[in-house]
Structure 1
Amino acid sequence: MTPAALPLATPRPAKPRPWLWRVQSLLSNYLPLLLMALLASGTWWLVKNTPLIDAPGELAPPRHIPDYRMENFEIQRIGADGRLNVQIAGAELRHYPDTDTIEIDQARVRAIAPDGSLAIAEAKRAVSNGDGSDMQLLGDVRLRRLPSGAGENAPAQLEVRGEFLQVLANSEILRSHLPVTIRQGSSTVNAQNFEYRHLTGRVSFTGRAQGQIASRDGR
């Protein structure tokens, strides 16, 4: 007698991942804070290394008055390999010596990662402290992550929009205490506030958060 064939085990359907887990994965994969840290530290490095035309001859007591400003400016940082790393543009830049802060009106920052992917941050105003460890984007904030080789009008891999976004470079934290909208493809998350810690890959929300997470097949 021929032994009867054993029935094949029916594979169990995979349980859908919680939407919070998928948002966390989305952020950790498409928004590395190392790139955003480059934006913050790059602002300080660029301004500190920009030559001043009318530098004061004598030191004066610090006052909350800009010691220099630039209008309709564009500053670039070139890497050792000759490639563009960071580009910062705006309607006006001001440096305040008493607080050692930099303010930019109509700020637009482009940062190119080593893999060629592009991050573009735009806001009505940007404020950075002296060492570049704390950068705040204020008013109509839009942050996009684009794949390598894509034009600036291409669909973003990830987009974050809101009225406020803070980047803490040393601790690699991206957060907002105001509502934000996070989009990736057909997936959207609206949150009253959020915090993303790149070192742990943890994203957290408080208050009401609503999400529409599309499956891999687009449904």
Structure 2
Amino acid sequence: MKNVTIIIIAGGSASGKTNVALKIANEILEGEPVVHVSMDHYYKSFANLSFEEKQKLNFDHPSTLDIDLLCQHLDLLKQRKPIDIPIYDFTTHSQTGTSTRVEPSDVVILDGILSLHIEEIRKRGDIRIFIRTDDDIRFIRHLQRDTVERGRSVADIIEQYLTTVRPSYKYFVETSIDHADIIVPYSEYNTIAVDMIATKIKSLLRKN
């Protein structure tokens, strides 16, 4: 049975992690079997809390994630077994109770802000990448995404950024850069870094 290569992509909120993951999967590894998994779907549901109480939670803290389930899923993919990824609703801060079936693949790309901070996840990666993006760019992208895609008000986004997102980035995310094999300065057109990463992945696939 061929080995499964797990690539971990970390970085701050709205740093471009998913864009880099999709560029690797779609533009560079086109034709190769690739699975993309986002840690965003592994938030706990906190069904016992009201919506107002959920809004006060720090979703950039490891305690809000179902780390055990994510690790279990990574192990299953490593064993070439399918998984059912939960579907999370950001507008209500809760799990929907539904899931998406994902079949195993030669390459698994996992992205998440805390993916390099959490040791249980980090140690499962074969290639560890950190996307480094300027704070102001991340904030602007965060503001645009949460107003358009998640129905948040500008005032709520600013408050969340100042009280949880920025402090958690400094404490959990920024320090995890020390665990990265590759550090990518993010820009929309940083194709050289993506090419380098894809070349390494193709090398691993050839060895398999």
TM-score per shorter chain, which class?
under 0.3
Larger radius of gyration: 1
TM-score (norm 2): 0.27
TM-score by length of 1: 0.26
Name the structure with the higher helix share: 2
More strand by share: 1
Higher relative contact order (CA 8 A, sep 6+): 2
